[in-house]
Amino acid sequence: MNAEELRNRQAPLKDQYRRQPESAILTLKATGKIGEGISCKVETGRAMVEAGLHPATGGDGLLACSGDMLLEALVACAGVTLRAVSTAIGIELKDGTITAEGDLDFRGTLGVSREAPVGFQTIRLAFNLATDASAEQLQTLARLTERYCVVYQTLTQGVSVKTTFTFL
């Protein structure tokens, strides 16, 4: 897809969202079903992913780890956003990789230490790109990729999460 094709696809959506702001608010959804043993089957829209315990918490490593899935979602969103932005502003990317790494202290999630936090303490997102773009273009690409990446913004800005339990 080139910049013109991207603009042509997005222009009617942008016009609609300007005219009817409420139409831009959508609810995305993920659903999981409790699986065998200690697992949860999650529908991804393309396939079923079965998540389980990370080996550092007693898992056997055969099932996806939800922490890994969070990092994978960040990489996927950042990669798609990077491609959309580079296309829109005319930067040719010859090749590239995006890597996310996160540091966890598993003592927290295992209840070994109340002082150890539960969750990622630091996440590092790295872009390694092959391009002939100027330094100024690359700064713009980086700024806009961070600005428009939904998962990045959610993680860095925080979000209210409301939990409900229904017992059958």
pLDDT at 38 over 80: no
How far is 22 from 2, CA to CA, in rounded Å?
29
pLDDT tens track for 147-166: 999 999 999 999 999 999 99
Q: Which residue has the higher pLDDT, 155 or 37?
A: 155
How far is 136 from 91, CA to CA, in rounded Å?
11
95 in the Ramachandran plot: left (φ > 0), alpha (ψ -120 to 50) or beta? beta
How far is 168 from 161, CA to CA, in rounded Å?
22
DSSP structure class, residue 23: G
pLDDT at position 57, please? 93
- The CATH code of domain 3-157 reads 3.30.300.20
Query: What are the sequence ranges of the domains in the chain?
Result: 3-157
What global pTM score does this model have?
0.87
pLDDT at position 48, please? 85
- Name which of 131, 75, 137 is nearest 102 in CA terms: 75
pLDDT tens track for 60-108: 999 999 999 999 999 999 999 999 999 999 999 999 999 999 999 999 9
